[in-house]
Amino acid sequence: MPESAAVIIEFATQGAYVRVSAFDPASMTEVTIVGAANAPRAYLETLVLRQLERTIA
């Protein structure tokens, strides 16, 4: 995934969990992870971006 690529990230909290989705408009690819709602937002964002990179590669 190029550095300049714009990625859309969405956080949806339900109870003790948060669903984090990342969408790459250039490749029309979306991935989703589930984590603890009390996990740091930056950590969850890093995880979902890594998952997106692995999926696109």
Over the stretch 3-53, which tens digit does the pLDDT of each residue have? Answer: 557 999 999 999 999 999 999 999 999 999 999 999 999 999 999 999 999
- How far is CA 36 from each of CA 1, 3, 46, 49, rounded to the nearest angstrom? 26, 28, 14, 17
CB 48 within 8 A of CB 42: no
Task: Look up residue 40 and give its two tokens.
Answer: 């740091």
Structural domain contains residue 3: no
Residue 17 lies in a domain: yes
What pLDDT does 36 receive? Answer: 97
In terms of residue numbers, what domain contains 50? 8-56
The answer to whether position 16 is within a domain reads: yes
Per the domain annotation, does 50 fall within a domain? Answer: yes
The pTM for the full model equals 0.87
Domain assignment present for residue 21? The answer is yes
